[in-house]
Amino acid sequence: MTRTPIVLALLVIASPCIAQSAPKIDDFTVAGIHVIHKPISANDVIAVQLFVKGGAAAITPSNAGIEQLIVDAAPLGTSKYSKEQFTAAATKNGAQVGGSADLEYTSMTLRAVRQNWDASWDLFAEAVAHPTFPEAEVAVARGQLVNQVKQRTDDPDAYLEQVSDSVVFAGHPFAPEPRGTPKSVATLTSAELARWHARRFTRANMLIVVVGNVSHDDLVAKINRSFGGLPASGGAVAAVPALAPMKASVTIMNRSLPTNYIQGTFAAPPSRSRDAAAVRLAVRILSDRLFEEVRTKRNLTYAVYSFFRGGSVGRGAVYVTAVDPDTTLKVMLAEVRRLQREPVSTERLQESRNDYVTAYWMGQETNLGQAAQLGAFELTGGGWRNALALVDRVKAVTPADIQRVATRYFRNARFVVVGDPKKVDPALFKSL
């Protein structure tokens, strides 16, 4: 794997300076809405991300996809703008309004330039607070979303992810799919979107994160004027529990494919846990080793890695595509056990730490990236301050920490295989 140690070292050395010189983050409440504001004067971009708490836990299998359809349809007609007027104004002002429904929350975003901030905010506020969901426009958006969710089964990787989530979250509040299913999305109507919007888009259920060159007073006035008329409360979702203790399993989806797509998911700590930093580095070290042993040395695959997904419910996974699943998995399991039994060298740990910290800062290069990170940690990581502390926690991880978390968490994986059942030894796949 190609590395640039001088650049990485400089970035890691510089990161404390970056953190020390960062502007003070303002945390306050306006009209019952929690707001986080990071003022930045180095550029003219203003990024806004509005989070609606709940995510998959707020929906049901029968209406799954409703919040994704809401954010898709919101700019297609509001009390003030028709679809054509909204699009023309956004183009004129360089405003980008979007959104997505995710596992932990639904969000709507605005990227604007300071010179057109007032007009851009007006568009965003209309889409958030006053969508009218015209039936004709909703029908088009609904058809597009149905096609998108249908296509997941055509892409082996997307299908693997879908089935893996269904296995891991069976019986959990995160079981419904945020983007829905073809069946659930197809039945959603304009009237249902309007009712659901009124129920869930409440002031107590929102978090707004703003990163950019905008004053505190202007932000307070805009939020109060634009969202003060929304319902004060309602639509709240109870905190989701951790994953129940998992037992090793394998689920095989029979597909005639040139290769087999494999993912094994295991329970991991949530982002707020002190173990999360060590797990982030452990999966990075494991991913590098899998690449070296499985791809580079043995040429058993073109794609192999491991990853960690934090949030309020953490999980990690190993992934590979392989013509010979059993032979490939034996090598992968050997690397997992080596990480559990042998301390990683301080040099290897430092390389992985440098890689991680560099990637982390690169993810903060845009204002919207910073807004997303602050909001995600506020809602699912124990508070936005933990986002600022993450690099220091990563730097404090020791070889003993890596061995400890690998032993504790890298076990009882639930594997999903999309491919040929005849090439899979279930006992082997249940041995992690």
pLDDT tens sequence across 160-171: 999 999 999 999
Beta pairing, strands 33-39 & 96-101: unpaired
User: pTM of this prediction?
Assistant: 0.92
- DSSP H or E stretch at residue 253: strand 249-254
Beta pairing, strands 33-39 & 249-254: unpaired
Sequence-ordered list of residues with C-beta below 8 angstroms from that of 107, at least 6 positions apart, any chain: 49, 50, 51, 52, 71, 99, 100, 372, 375
Q: Which residue type occupies 336?
A: V
Rounded to the nearest angstrom, the gap between the alpha carbon of residue 36 and the centroid of all alpha carbons in its chain is 19
Structure tokens at 254: 């029979």
Burial of 426 (0-12, 13-18, 19+ CB in 10 A): middle
Per-residue pLDDT at 244: 87
Sequence-ordered list of residues with C-beta below 8 angstroms from that of 407, at least 6 positions apart, any chain: 340
- DSSP H or E stretch at residue 19: helix 5-21
Comparing CA positions, the residue from 183, 145, 178 lying closest to residue 161 is 178
Q: What is the DSSP letter of 178?
A: T
Across the chain, which has 432 residues, the per-10-residue mean pLDDT values are 39 41 85 97 96 98 98 98 98 97 98 98 98 98 98 96 97 97 98 98 98 97 98 95 93 97 97 96 97 97 96 97 97 97 96 95 94 97 96 97 98 97 96 91
Q: Which residues pair with 210 in a beta bridge?
A: 37, 48
Q: At what angle do helices 135-151 and 190-200 cross, to 10 degrees?
A: 80
Structure tokens at 283: 């999966």
Residues present in the chain in total: 432
Per-residue pLDDT at 154: 94
Q: What is the DSSP letter of 430?
A: T
Structure tokens at 169: 């979250």
Per-residue pLDDT at 157: 97
How is the chain split among helix, strand and coil, in percent rounded to 5?
Answer: 50, 20, 30
Per-residue pLDDT at 22: 59
Number of C-beta neighbours around residue 151 at 10 A: 11
Question: Measured between alpha carbons, how far is 52 from 377 in angstroms, rounded to an integer?
Answer: 14
- What phi and psi values does residue 88 have, to the nearest 5 degrees? -65, -45
- For the chain, domains (ranges, CATH) are 23-227 (3.30.830.10), 249-429 (3.30.830.10)
